[in-house]
Structure formats: structure tokens, C-alpha cells
């Protein structure tokens, strides 16, 4: 009996153009913080990345909008301003305590707002080309009730979003081993630009990963032919001169995409996982969604890149 394969990408084998070398340079980074442990990891990763690229850093903190009346008494503007000032002072104190942040001289933005909308607004105003945010990795009913700020930012942002999950540890060399996971249908080209561009810039090890699901090969198609066609499509995502700058490999895996991506990231000692996103990624907050699982499980940052070309 034939082994299960994912056969849908074969139909678009001739639609993928060869990818030219793309220089990736982050110039303006926005990092969100709520002073939690995941936010601390995100801030450290943002600082490391900003130093590597010589980028400007903007730190964002959203304060939950208060009740304007408490037992019939209107909350005064002075109290609201005091809360804003206190949060701003907390961020400034955080900067003063850390030499790496002091060297960057980051801008600080604090406001009463929904966190997702505020992060999106600030990143747009600051013309950010990278957003960094931490994720608590909530799952199950907790995630259904609370949603995920990180995933909502990932869905709405127009620039790439770097997420540090609950198991993530800050990477001093975040581009030494890059894994790029793609489904080859809608998430390949722009994600490949970032994965290959970063790998070339930092002479990293690059792994292109495609996970094949549990569909059987149609009658008349040999499994090895399907594998070869998929491998060719992945190869088309690589610049022709890539081998001059870094070591690359292609991996085809079977099974559940979330589990396979997490396992490959671990086996390749990934310091960065790049994932291509559909334009409507995370249309809901299903707790079993692939990327939610990956964010919870991987020990490296995950860079989400929307599928359209730059």
C-alpha cells in the first residue's frame, strides 16, 4: 500500500519563480511589553536583534482602559495621567537598569488602548519593519476565553512579527540555524526571502521544511515522483548563489504539521523558525491551530511572514 503524501503542491510546480537574493535589514523594531516573563524574553531578543542590525528600537506598553466611573464617581484626568506617567517611568527605569537598552536609546510609547490595536498603531506610525512580542502560550479553554495578543498581532501586522513563546530562550546568535517551514501553496515566496536573506547575511545553516499530510498518492503516480516534484519546488525557493554564503538542506516530513515543525526545529538546533503566513492566518482562535502549537513548543523565536512578495 502506498504511503500517505500531500499531493496538492504538485499542481503548482510551474508557478513558483526562482528567488533572487534579497538583502534583509531591519531598521526599525517595535517591541511590546507588559512586564511579564514572556515580554522580558521578547525585549531581550529585540535588543539583540537591534544591536545586530544597528536598528532603532521602540518599546510599547498598553494600559488597560479603566472604568471612567467607580461607584458613580468619575475618574479624574489627573489619575489617568498619573497611571500613564507611572508606566512610562517603569519603562525608563527598565532601560536605565540595562546597559544594552541604554546603548540603543529606545523610544517609549505608553497609552490607554487595546494592546493589539496599540501595537499595530505604533508600529505603523514608527514605520517598523519588525515587531517583537512575547506569547504566554495559553491553550485550551484559557486561550478560547482570552485569545492571544501575539497571534492577533501576527494576523494584523503588515510587517514580519517575531514571537518568543513560553519555552523560548533568548538567542545571542539568533541566525546561526534557520528553519523555514512552508506549505508551498500560499506561504512560500516572501517567507523564503526572509529565511534565505537572513541565512546569507549571517552565513547560517538553512533548512527548508515541508510537511506532507496523510493523503494518498493518486493512482498512476509513484511516491518517489511526488517527493521529487515537491523537492524541486522547495529548491526553486533558494537563490542560485546561496551555497556561496551558507549551508542549506531540504527536509520532507510526514504527519501532523505542528508536531513535525516542532520536532525538526529541535533536531536542527534552530535558533530561528521562519513560517510563511496566509493572508487570513488565524481567522479564529482554535486552540489546536498549527502555529499556536508551534509557538508553545519551540525553544527558539518564530518569525511570521505574510505570503505576499515585497
DSSP string, 155-180: HH-SS-EEEE-TT----SSTTSEEEE
- Domain at 252, CATH number: 3.40.50.620
Asked if residues 29 and 130 have their Cβ atoms less than 8 Å apart, the reply is: yes
Q: What percent of the chain lies above the pLDDT cut of 90? A: 51
Percent of the chain at pLDDT > 70 equals: 77
3-state helix, strand, coil in the chain (%, to 5): 40, 20, 40
Domain final residue, candidates 164, 197, 216: 164
CA-CA distance, 162 to 131, in Å (whole number)? 6
Q: Which residues of 165-180 are buried (b: 16+ CB within 10 A; e: fewer)?
A: bbebebbeebbbbbbb
Domain extent for 129: 28-164
Longest dimension (CA), the chain: 76
Q: How far apart are CA 258 and CA 260, in angstroms?
A: 6
- Whose cell is 512580542? That residue is 133
Q: Show which of 164, 182, 206 is a domain's final residue.
A: 164
126-169 pLDDT tens trace: 999 999 999 986 554 444 333 478 888 988 898 999 999 999 98
**Residue 287 scores a pLDDT above 90:** no
Question: Cell numbers at residue 168, please?
Answer: 523560548
Residues 55-77: tens digit of each pLDDT: 999 999 998 766 554 455 556 77
pLDDT of residue 279: 59
Residues 300, 175 within the same domain: yes
Q: Residue 284 above 60 pLDDT?
A: no
Res. 18 pLDDT band, cuts 50 70 90: very low
Integer CA distances (angstroms), 297 to 33, 110, 190, 209, 263, in order: 21, 31, 24, 17, 9
Span between the terminal Cα atoms of the chain, in Å: 43
Residues 16 and 47 in one domain: no
Task: State the pTM of this model.
Answer: 0.85
How many domains is the chain built from? 2
Q: Do 238 and 212 share a structural domain?
A: yes
Determine, yes or no, domain membership for 81. Answer: yes
Q: What pLDDT is stored for residue 184 in this prediction?
A: 79
pLDDT at 80: 78
- Alpha-carbon gap, residue 272 to 181, rounded angstroms: 11
pLDDT score at 137? 62
Amino acid at each position: 500500500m502506498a504511503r500517505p503524501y500531500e499531493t496538492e503542491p504538485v499542481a503548482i510546480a510551474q508557478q513558483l519563480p526562482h528567488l533572487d537574493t534579497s538583502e534583509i535589514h531591519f531598521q526599525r523594531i517595535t517591541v511590546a511589553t507588559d512586564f511579564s516573563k514572556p515580554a522580558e524574553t521578547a525585549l531581550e531578543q529585540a535588543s539583540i536583534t537591534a544591536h545586530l542590525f544597528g536598528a532603532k528600537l521602540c518599546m510599547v506598553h498598553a494600559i488597560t482602559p479603566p472604568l471612567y466611573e467607580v461607584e458613580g464617581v468619575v475618574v479624574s484626568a489627573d489619575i489617568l495621567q498619573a497611571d500613564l506617567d507611572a508606566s512610562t517611568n517603569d519603562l525608563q527605569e527598565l532601560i536605565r537598569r540595562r546597559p544594552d537598552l541604554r546603548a540603543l536609546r529606545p523610544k517609549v510609547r505608553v497609552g490607554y488602548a487595546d494592546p493589539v490595536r496599540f501595537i499595530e498603531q505604533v508600529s505603523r506610525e514608527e514605520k517598523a519593519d519588525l515587531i517583537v512580542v512575547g506569547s504566554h502560550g495559553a491553550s485550551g479553554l484559557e486561550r478560547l476565553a482570552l485569545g492571544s495578543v501575539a497571534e492577533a498581532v501576527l494576523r494584523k501586522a503588515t510587517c514580519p512579527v517575531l514571537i518568543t513563546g513560553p519555552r523560548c530562550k533568548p538567542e545571542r546568535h539568533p541566525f546561526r540555524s534557520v528553519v523555514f517551514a512552508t506549505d508551498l501553496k500560499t506561504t512560500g515566496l516572501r517567507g523564503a526571502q526572509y529565511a534565505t536573506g537572513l541565512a546569507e547575511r549571517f552565513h547560517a545553516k538553512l533548512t527548508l521544511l515541508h510537511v506532507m499530510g496523510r493523503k494518498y498518492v493518486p493512482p498512476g503516480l509513484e511516491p518517489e515522483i511526488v517527493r521529487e516534484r515537491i523537492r524541486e519546488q522547495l529548491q526553486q525557493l533558494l537563490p542560485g548563489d546561496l551555497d556561496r554564503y551558507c549551508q542549506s538542506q531540504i527536509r520532507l516530513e510526514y504527519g501532523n504539521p505542528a508536531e513535525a515543525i516542532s520536532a525538526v526545529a529541535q533536531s536542527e538546533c534552530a535558533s530561528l523558525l521562519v513560517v510563511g503566513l496566509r493572508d487570513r492566518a488565524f481567522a479564529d482562535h482554535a486552540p489546536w491551530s498549527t502555529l499556536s502549537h508551534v509557538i508553545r513548543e519551540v525553544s527558539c523565536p518564530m518569525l511570521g511572514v505574510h505570503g505576499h512578495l515585497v
